[in-house]
Amino acid sequence: MASITIRNLDDEVKKRLRVLAASHGRSMEEEARLILRDAVEQDVGPTDLAAAIRERFAHLGGVELELPPREAMPEPPRFE
């Protein structure tokens, strides 16, 4: 198991961590471990850009675009 040291932790944060740990019947160290474990195990959402954009703007609804009819490809130029 690895160890870390957290420097410059605000007194208020430490106090709230102590109270939270006590309310769960755990040590501050165990409470911090559980908070960190939960934070890194959370689902980060879509991993591709298109899915992330779609998810972000889904509440706005979609748009139906009128597509122009397809035309035959023009003949390529001949270099004779």
Provide the mean pLDDT of the chain.
91
pLDDT digits 0-9 by tens, 23-43: 999 999 999 999 999 988 887
Q: Which residues contact 17 (CB under 8 A, 6 or more apart)?
A: 28, 31, 32
**Arithmetic mean of pLDDT, 50-73:** 89
Dist CA 23 CA 51 (whole Å):
40
Q: Name the token pair of 41.
A: 């195990």
Least confident of 3-7, 8-12, 44-48, 61-65: 44-48
pLDDT > 70 fraction of the chain, expressed in percent and rounded: 96
